[in-house]
Amino acid sequence: MRRKVRVKPSKASSLMGMIVGTVFVLIGLAVVIPNVGAFGVFWTLIAVAITGMNAFNYFSKEGIASMEMDIDSSEVSMSSSDDFAARLRKLTQLRDDGLITEDEFQQKRREILGEKW
């Protein structure tokens, strides 16, 4: 089964885009519109849109996705089973290192096994 996953830019990328977009808006207002006219207005509107999109991504949790990916559910289940095995290995290591008791180990092991099935 396939599902779509939407990916938005990172906070750092959105912040950088917002800063650069603001610079381009200022350049548009101060230089491009007075010298070029109609193209300057177009330039400035595009810069405002880019700045706004990056600001929305930076300040909101949802954001605007920059790409979509199709994920095969068999890939997801494979990674979750790897995670399952890693959790059991980590739990065993904690017991072997004496950081948890045998009773705590057995209780947590049952919880992890219960999640698996």
Q: Rounded mean pLDDT of 1-12?
A: 82
| CA-based nearest residue to 49, from 29, 22, 27, 30 | 22
User: Would you say 109 and 91 are in contact if contact means Cβ atoms under 8 Å apart?
Assistant: yes
102-116 vs 73-96: helix crossing angle, rounded to 10: 170
Residue 85 has pLDDT above 90, yes or no: no
pLDDT (tens digit per residue) in 15-67: 999 999 999 999 999 999 999 999 999 999 999 999 999 999 999 888 888 78
Q: Given this model, what pLDDT does residue 81 score?
A: 63
For the chain, percent of residues with pLDDT exceeding 90: 54
